[in-house]
Amino acid sequence: MSELSELYQQVILDHNKKPRNFRKLEHANHSAEGYNPLCGDHLTVYLDLEGDAVKEVAFEGSGCAISKAAASMMTQAVKGKSREQVEALFNEFHSMVIGELDEEAEENKLGNLKIFAGVRDFPVRVKCATLPWHTLHAALNNEQQVSTE
């Protein structure tokens, strides 16, 4: 069960149970819908961009513990960041969960998002962790919908 406890760490379980910024953002000026047809994970990411910066971000939807926790922690991580910083963080996060970035040895700004490193041992769950990020990316780029499979 050791890989399993790497995946389902207490922090992830906590964010699954009590997702942060889990609401519709009424005054959002950007939003996108993310959908994984394979497992039915489905969420909407709302963004309030002020100039180049993320002033506010929220999400709603349904999904597995990994996707929900990833979305919750993502909203905390990107708040206040510039568009460029958000995209850079997405790249690092993605590289980490597919096993191409050693989050301990290589320089990065992942911070507490490192907790998702365990996903790399579960290749079929990578899409769960990255769906919120793909959706955020779509919202930033004015795409309405994104689908991962």
From the list 34-42, 45-53, 78-86, 103-111, the region that binds other proteins by CB under 8 A is 34-42
What's the rounded Cα separation, in Å, for the pair 13 and 50? Answer: 32
- Tell me how far the alpha carbon of residue 139 is from its chain's centroid: 13
Binding-site residue total for other proteins (CB under 8 A)? 22
Q: Which of residues 82-141 bind other proteins (CB under 8 A)?
A: 122, 124-125, 128
From the list 1-9, 90-98, 103-111, 135-143, the region that binds other proteins by CB under 8 A is 1-9
CB of 26 to other proteins, least distance (A): 25
Torsion, Cα 61 64 68 71, to 10 degrees, reads: -90
Question: Does residue 92 contact residue 108 with C-beta atoms inside 8 Å?
Answer: yes
CB of 103 to other proteins, least distance (A): 21
CB of 119 to other proteins, least distance (A): 10
Which chain residues interact with other proteins by CB under 8 A? Answer: 1, 3-4, 7-8, 13, 16-17, 38-42, 62-66, 122, 124-125, 128
